Amino acid sequence: MSTDDFGQDINVAELLDAPNAEVLAKNLANGLAARSILVYDSAAERSATMIGPAAPVEGMHSYLKDTKRLYEYHGSVWRQVSSLTQQGSVNMSWSNANSATVNVTFPFAFSAAPNVFTNIASGNGAVARWSSRAFNVTATGFTVLLYAAEAATLTSGSAIPVQWFASLN
């Protein structure tokens, strides 16, 4: 047996090795899988699978479907590499008011309440001096609040775009 040309210790059969297609295929598959992103349903499944010769080694990566996150193995622990993020926009309309709200439902639920940021994607007309923020944030959604800088200012707005970004570290 020899190893690959990239120094990744993937075993490759040589011409003088006894023919064994199963060993050849398994060496290639295991060598490549260990260097790819391994996908598991949960951390429990990952722990149950990655034992013995398949035990994790430093630098391995795995993706867990239940958390929708990427992890890297650091010698004795899996550390999260990626944050879970979602983003979108909503159009808001109101009449003769100094504030407006609308409820937003995330495309898929987070495991806990994320940090949410909002931005009024227009600086013209009715919202030139307005601000936005998120409140009542839960794992499944939040409420957007648009409000006038001066509470006594009553305006109307139609289809004003508000962008949002949600992140859970």
Q: Are 74 and 139 in contact (CB under 8 A)?
A: no
Higher local confidence (pLDDT), 54 or 32: 54
pLDDT at 125: 75
Tens digit of each residue's pLDDT (9 = 90 or more) over 35-60: 788 899 999 999 999 999 889 989 89
Alpha-carbon span 26 to 33, nearest angstrom: 10
Burial class (CB in 10 A: 0-12, 13-18, 19+), 56: buried
Q: What is the pTM of this model?
A: 0.62
- Mind listing the pLDDT tens digit for each residue in 69-113? 899 999 899 998 878 899 999 999 999 999 999 999 999 898 899
Q: How far apart are CA 140 and CA 103, in angstroms?
A: 11
* Integer angstrom CA distances of residue 43 from 18, 31, 66, 140: 39, 22, 9, 23
pLDDT at 32: 73
User: pLDDT at position 6, please?
Assistant: 59
Q: What pLDDT, on the 0 to 100 scale, is given for residue 5?
A: 63
Distance CA 38, CA 46 (A): 9
Q: Token digits for 98?
A: 């100094």
Percent of the chain with pLDDT over 90: 51
